[in-house]
Amino acid sequence: MDGIFLQQMINGLTLGSVYGLIAIGYTMVYGIIGMINFAHGEVYMVSAYLAAIAIAVLGFFGVHSFPLVILGTLIFTIVVTGVYGFAIERIAYKPLRNSTRLAPLISAIGMSLILQNYVQLSQGARQQGIPTMLEGSLRLHVGEGFVMITYTKLFIIAAAIAGMLALTFIIQRTRLGRMCRATQQDRKMAQILGINTDRVISYVFVIGASMGALAGVLITLNYGTFDFYAGFIIGIKAFTAAVLGGIGSLPGAMLGGLILGVAEAQFSGMVNTDYKDVFSFSLLVLILIFRPQGLLGRPQVTKV
Amino acid sequence: MPVSTSSIDIKKSLIDSVMAGLIALIVFGPIVGVVLQGYDFNLQFDRVGWMVLVVMVGRFALSLFLQTSRGAVVLQSFESPAGGVGVLPPDYKSRLRWILPVLVLLAVAFPFFANKYLLTVVILGLIYVLLGLGLNIVVGLAGLLDLGFVGFYAIGAYGLAMGYEYLGLGFWSMLPLSAILAAFAGMLLGFPVLRMHGDYLAIVTLGFGEIIRLILNNWLAVTGGPNGMSAPAPTFFGLEFARRAKDGGTPFHEFFGISYDPNLKFLFTYAVLFLVVLLVLYIKHRLTRMPVGRAWEALREDEIACRAMGLNHVLVKLSAFMLGASTAGIAGVFFATYQGFVNPASFTFFESALILAIVVLGGMGSTIGVVIAAFVLTVAPELLRSFADYRVLLFGILMVVMMIWKPRGLIRINRIGIAPRKGVAP
């Protein structure tokens, strides 16, 4: 194996773990109310801004040690983005629970336009950035070349794994997770059994947004720059990851994210960087044609 | 459910208002209040204050209103989605009989008193009418959410530019060819996806629109990349509208012995475009009364029932998808010839969203509504340039509010009922 392949593998795993985190938001919402939350990509974008704001404000108060800054940024971003998720669901989706099938989708597109434009108007259209937080890297010699793994990338992979473990714990072991799973399986039955399904749906949006926020902080740490349009492309890619893994399935979203990230990184390393987005979107179309239920998903059953 | 006429609970409204204000503070506070300046920031908390205040007052008023008996009626109308199509009595005569000829007369008379600026604005409006009509077939009638409509529009526009550049084809040959090309692209995209659950189509078309734009942007050798390509102007039976014709031909104004007028090109484009819009309106009007049009609407309302009745849902959806795509292709040709050049910047997701906003505002499936909405949404921003920054925000709010308030659009679709013939045994 040569150095470029390994290097792209590392890049792909980093990117893929973040795609997986965002894909969780899509897959959970789809699982519970059966709609594609188009605004989720924008939630990620908002969280990138929130992360930069938190870092700037903490820097202003003289907090510069990496663990403190990252802890503060993560807590702030996840909480505020969670509130965003809650508010979005309340405004744009909850009144449409019994509406036509197209209505929530169009409302979601509207919400996504609102968020983009709102951030653009309040923060300006220019690109924003954060300073490098974690410097240095590991160098591994492979053959005649070498592979560079920055500490940021290691941190991202570790944080993504931690986030996914925390989520798995919430879903599998807690009362809230049990309510989520019950609502996902049969909303009406869950309601009969005394679960406040409206509240559970709100929680799902908050959890999805929080995972998106974690992804937003991590991607911002890695690339350092973002703008108000950043959520669009990443949103479609994370959705691709969710479909690849089987929409509605949590492990599927994580697996799909990793596969998509690695495939994309290898494509840009070996073929062409300009067409890496085209590659991902084509992948989405191909998956939908040949395996619409994804890798870990169940085949779709149409209910009357 | 009977509407209970309980007294108004101000305490509840106050709590609602405070909760909404708290959420607004958390949501707006950081993004609006702390504006990033490089790695630094400056504070603008006055803006946050105003926004939170507006939210609190709005929520309070809404909460109070919903507690009144009138509010309860409004609330109940949201609970149940309004039925599909209104049916009018068989002998109903629409007032449109009188309005439509007047509109056509206005449109015919329009070029005689319009200046160039007004003409170009109206041409743009008509192009969006065409786009809106095309998407209305897909979204409004067939109920398929197509978020990459701009992709077919781009295929039409680049079809003209590339046909001219590489094949030497002009406006008139590319007009049908682009429509066929766009329809073919629609078939390639739609055939695999339409077999599946409707929501996937939305995201696949979203990806498709982006793929088309990225290819146009990156394939420098063929598409000219971000710089774009030039597109030919229309000709009148081979006569050009330029001051001097190329290759020793005769320009239009010399052939007819009139003085040269730079507006002639736009006048001609307007005339052709207007005829095409009328034709598309007529075709759509007829289609909705034919079995295939009925099948679109039936599939939109209940897919499972339709399949049980033996409708081939893939073919029916595909026909709507291709027809919409070809309309967008035609609109693209007009756009290219009107602008004189095309570049990828004209085909962003925002365009798709704008066309979707036209269809949403105009009413799903309503033709006249789409025509009005297309003009309102494209001409109004031209007139209100100072609001240009808020345009996208308004579109977004429009989509959300329309979906909550009237998901089937402002203008309700009505259909004239059929009376059984007298003297026939039931």
Nearest to B40 among A56, A87, A112 (CB): A56
Q: Return the pLDDT at A36.
A: 83
* Residue A302 in contact with partner chain B when CB distance is under 8 A: yes
- Partners of residue B399 in chain A, C-beta under 8 Å: 106-107, 109-110, 113
Dihedral pair phi/psi, residue A72, rounded to 5°:
-60, -45
Percent over 90 (pLDDT), chain A: 14
**What kind and span of H or E run contains B34?**
strand B34-37
pLDDT at B72: 75
Give the nearest chain A residue to B191 (CA atoms).
A289
Report yes or no: A282 at the B interface, CB cutoff 8 Å: yes
Q: What is the predicted ipTM? A: 0.83
A with B: how many residue pairs have Cβ under 8 Å apart? Answer: 182
Q: Backbone dihedral region of A186: left (phi > 0), alpha (psi from -120 to 50 degrees) or beta?
A: beta
Contact by Cβ (8 Å): B387, B342: no
Q: How far apart are CA B395 and CA B375, in angstroms?
A: 14
Put simply, the answer to whether A116 touches B392 (Cβ < 8 Å) is yes
Q: Is A69 on the interface with B (CB under 8 A)?
A: no
Higher pLDDT, B242 or A111: A111
Q: Which residues of A touch B404 (CB under 8 A)?
A: 95-96, 107
Determine, for residues B40 and A60 on separate chains, whether the beta-carbon distance falls below 8 Å: yes
* Mutation target among B16, B36, B51 for the A interface, most CBs of A within 10 A: B36
Q: Show residues of chain B in contact with A104, CB under 8 Å.
A: 403
Residues B277-294 have pLDDT tens digits of 889 888 888 888 888 888
Contact A130 B39 (CB under 8 A): yes
Helix or strand (DSSP H, E) at B342? strand B341-342
* pLDDT single digits (tens) B45-93: 888 888 888 888 888 888 888 877 777 777 766 655 555 566 677 666 6
Supply the pLDDT for residue B252: 65
Distance from the Cα of B409 to chain A's closest Cα (Å) equals: 11
Q: What pLDDT band is residue B1 in, cutting at 50, 70 and 90?
A: very low
Cα B49 from chain centre: 36
pLDDT score of B3: 47
Q: Which two tokens stand for residue B377?
A: 């949404």
Neighbours of A223 (CB within 10 A): 14
Q: How far is B45 from chain A (nearest CA, A)?
A: 12
Q: Does pLDDT of A146 surpass 80?
A: no
Q: Chain A: residue nearest B351 by CA?
A: A113
Q: What is the pLDDT of residues A197-229, one digit of tens each?
A: 889 999 999 999 999 999 989 888 888 888 888
Instruction: For residue A216, give every residue at least 6 positions away whose Cβ sits within 8 Å of its Cβ, in sequence order, or none.
Output: A44, A45, A46, A47, A48, A50, A51, A77, A81
Q: Are B146 and B203 in contact (CB under 8 A)?
A: no
Q: pLDDT band for position B411 (50/70/90)?
A: low
Looking at the complex, does the CB of residue A95 fall below 8 Å from at least one CB of chain B?
yes
Q: Domain ranges for chain A, please list them.
A: 1-290
d(CA A89, CA B51): 20
User: How much is the pLDDT for A81?
Assistant: 92
Contact call for B207 and A281, based on CB within 8 A: yes
Binary contact (A56, B81; C-beta < 8 A): no
**Cα of B136 to nearest chain A Cα, Å:** 13
B197/A236 Cβ within 8 A: no
Question: Among A92, A98, A281, whose Cβ lies nearest the Cβ of B211?
Answer: A281
Residue type for position B17:
S
End-to-end CA separation in angstroms for chain B: 38
Partner residue opposite A101 with nearest CB, options B198, B356, B408 = B198
Q: What is the mean predicted confidence (pLDDT) over B387-409?
A: 79
What would the mean pLDDT of B397-403 be, rounded to a whole number? 84
Chain A: give the shortest CA distance to residue B16, in Å: 13
Residue found by looking up tokens 């402002």 in the block: B410
Quick: pLDDT tens for B224-281: 778 878 777 777 766 666 666 666 666 666 666 666 667 777 888 888 888 898 898 8
Residues of chain B in contact with residue A122, where contact means CB-CB under 8 angstroms, are 31-32, 35, 47
DSSP codes, B224-255: -GGG-EE-PPP-BTTBB-SSS-GGG--BHHHH
Q: Residue B364: its chain A contacts at CB < 8 A? A: 102
Q: What is the distance between the alpha carbons of residues B84 and B300, in angstroms, rounded to a whole number?
A: 10
A150 bridge partner residues? A137
CB < 8 Å from B in window 188-227 of A: none
Which chain A residue is nearest to residue B34, measuring alpha carbons? A53
Asked if A121 is an interface residue toward chain B (Cβ–Cβ < 8 A), one would say yes
**Contact at CB, B32 and A52, closer than 8 angstroms:** no
Out of B145, B193, B207, name the one closest to residue A105 (CB): B145
Task: Write out the two tokens for B217.
Answer: 């942007």
Weakest-pLDDT range from A229-233, B323-327, B406-410: B406-410
Q: Over the stretch B3-51, which tens digit does the pLDDT of each residue have?
A: 444 567 788 888 888 888 888 888 888 888 888 777 777 787 888 888 8
Judged by CB atoms closer than 8 Å, whether chains meet at B31 and A278 is answered as no
The answer to whether the Cβ–Cβ distance between A36 and B202 falls below 8 Å is yes
Indicate yes or no: CB of A131 within 8 angstroms of CB of B39.
Answer: yes
Chain mean position to CA B75: 29
Do B403 and A103 count as a contact with CB atoms less than 8 A apart? yes
Q: How confident is the model at residue A301 (pLDDT cuts 50, 70, 90)?
A: low
The pLDDT score that the predictor gives to residue B253 is 64
Read off the pLDDT of residues B320-377 as tens digits, 9 standing for 90 and up: 889 999 999 999 999 998 888 888 888 888 888 888 888 888 877 677 888 888 888 8
CATH code, residues A1-290: 1.10.3470
Nearest CA in chain A to B189: A285
Inform me whether the C-beta atom of residue A123 falls under 8 Å from chain B C-beta atoms. Answer: yes
The single-letter code of the amino acid at B20 is: A
| Whether pLDDT at A302 is above 70 | no
Q: Which residue has the tokens 């929680």?
A: A203
- Chain A residues with CB under 8 Å of B40 CB are 56, 60
